Amino acid sequence: MAYQPEDLADLEVALLGVLSIGLPPARAAGSETFRIDHVTAVVAGLAAQGRGEVHLEAGGLRATTAFRQSLRDAILSLAERGILAASQPAGAPAAPGGFEAGLELDLVDPDEHPAVLDRYLGQLCMERLFNVPAVYPYLMERYSSSGEVWRRIRESGYARD
């Protein structure tokens, strides 16, 4: 079945659009603001309420537990429909070094982005996000910053044959 953005929940559209801009791994970027859950939380807040901090904890770096759970559910839903290939089993522990005190499981690994299997749908979702006036400046900044990070990590030998 071919899906269109209107067939998806708003969070699924936000996630696919964010995954399609090509974020580098947060650890390589050296910033939590490149975490897939962080960027998707900001985009979802901006798209729905015009405020990027809606789904972030105090301090603005971590997505709330409730949002991360919703994001995990969206990943599983998209994976079940063959739109994404989930990169980590549901509820798997955080990657080594990613554990936080008081947090049993990190539900979304920031450095293992789910693979978008339906790239056309991903592009449509990204375009839909870019057409939201509150989202556009933020997403363009992440896109631009991603280019700088990718350039830096490639210069240091990332993905060389």
Summarize pLDDT for 112-157 with one digit per residue, the tens. 678 899 999 999 999 999 999 999 999 999 989 988 888 888 888 7
List pLDDT tens digits, range 67-115: 999 999 999 999 999 999 875 544 444 443 344 444 434 445 555 678 8
Are the beta carbons of 82 and 114 closer than 8 angstroms? no
Three-state DSSP class for residue 123: helix
pTM of the model: 0.82
Give the Å distances, CA to CA, from 159 to 9, 14, 30, 129, 145: 34, 28, 18, 29, 19
- DSSP per-residue codes, 119-149: HHHHHHHHHHHHTSTTTHHHHHHHHHHHHHH
- List beta partners, residue 56: 63
